[in-house]
Amino acid sequence: MWTTTMNVTVHVPVVSVKSRSWCCYASLYVAEQPQVLNGNPPDRKEIRLGLPSKGRMSADTLELLKNCQLSVKQVNPRQYVAEIPQLSNLEVWFQRPKDIVRKLLSGDLDLGIVGLDTFTEYGQSNEDLIIVHEALEYGDCRLSLAIPQYGIFENVNSLEELANMSQWTEEKPLRVATGFTYLGPKFMKENGLKHVTFSTADGALEAAPAMGIADAILDLVSSGTTLRENNLKEIKGGVVLESQAVLIASRKSMIQRKGVLETTHEMLERLEAHLRAIGQFTVTANMRGSSAEEVAERILSQPSLSGLQGPTVSPVFCKRDGKVTADYYAIVICVPKKALYKSIQQLRAIGGSGVLISPLTYIFDEETPRWRQLLSELGL
């Protein structure tokens, strides 16, 4: 079912309402702006984390938290509230992603995980919202403009070419179907498209151009397969933003609500440690050498064997003729998966043997840089 919720023409400022001018465009921003509580967050003791309630984003979020030893425990799957036993005084609330952003602004949630597209569309650059971690490495997609491959668009391959088409006038503007009624008009204005109207739809946006309801669509794209199967194409310069899952928070909550900052710190450290370890392997091997320094020098001569900060080299003791000696040294390095086999070859070439491989689960830094950035942004 298709419903037109606005008729907005991006145009130079004109006072007349009849012309559907930029005044109408500006009013859209006011109408869609989320309501924000003034002053302190609502008085409650529990810390609240909002998580997506359905779909792939929900499943991937729960899997990530589980891998960080932060498993979500839900007594009743029909309930919208749960807990993470490792984080005391924390309630998990399952919500629609857009409602997570809105409830962070209203003070009903303190933390949340959503896609960057949702955060940007419904947060609308509100200063009370902070991105704590901008790259949780799942939910990858892009918000992109797509047009038909046929008809008047057959030879149109860029946003500039689309904007320069003579067909678009104040009386007959470019019609765009989208669910992104904040980012869409903002993007068009910033890129100089003057005559554009937007409509929203329930259902697959890809059908809109074929049905004659819209000339173009602005929607989330992953692989682009669905677009191609519906004879649509992306165009150069038409990507509004690249999106993935992000951890977000309320500035007011972190500053004013007891325990929120500490909980945020622990979540951030666990997330960082797990994400940094993905695709990394510990490589252990024995090497004969005259000293630890000599062995280290051989290892560092190979470009794939430097590890995170350098190799760990320690003597391997054995008893020979009644005496304890150290003819071999054990070396330990961290190697990314893509360089694993090459690293093993280099180890063998310089005398490594008995090579053992094990995946890494966590890599904890002395302090995560994102934590320092967060404190700086909060003025703490």
pLDDT, tens only, 162-196 = 999 999 999 999 999 999 999 999 999 999 998 99
How does DSSP classify residue 173? P
Residue with tokens 């909980």: 263
Average pLDDT over the chain reads 88
Mean pLDDT of 120-127: 96
* Residue 142 one-letter amino acid: R
According to DSSP, the residues that pair with 287 across neighbouring strands are 329, 352
Tell me, what's the pLDDT at 202?
Answer: 64
For residue 340, give every residue at least 6 positions away whose Cβ sits within 8 Å of its Cβ, in sequence order, or none.
281, 283, 357
Confidence of residue 322 (pLDDT cuts 50, 70, 90): confident
- Measuring CA to CA, which residue among 203, 173, 186 is closest to residue 240? 186
Give the Cα separation of 184 and 10 in Å (integer). 11
Structure tokens, 289 = 């050498």
Q: Which of 175, 192, 180, 189 has the alpha carbon at shortest distance from 243?
A: 180
pLDDT greater than 90 at residue 113: yes
Confidence band for 1, pLDDT divided at 50, 70 and 90: very low
For residue 193, which of 170, 219, 214 has the smallest C-alpha distance?
170
Q: What is the pLDDT of residue 81?
A: 95
* 124/115 Cα distance (integer angstroms): 14
Question: What integer is the mean pLDDT of 142-150?
Answer: 97
* Cα 125 from Cα 107, distance rounded (Å): 16
Which letter does DSSP use for residue 286 in this model? E
CA separation, residue 276 to residues 103, 136, 216, 272, 356 (Å): 30, 10, 39, 6, 21
pLDDT at 144 over 60: yes
% of the chain with per-residue pLDDT over 70: 88
For residue 14, pLDDT beyond 70: no
Q: Across-strand partners of 111?
A: 49, 249
Q: What is the pLDDT of residue 305?
A: 86
Token pair of 304 as six digits: 């794939």
Residue percentage of the chain with pLDDT more than 90: 73
Decide the pairing of beta strands 323-336 and 245-250: unpaired
Mean pLDDT of all residues in 12-17:
31
Q: Dihedral sign, CA of 208, 210, 213, 214?
A: positive
SS3 category, 68: coil
Examine the pLDDT at 22 and tell me if it is beyond 60. Answer: no
Query: In one letter, which amino acid is 303?
Result: P
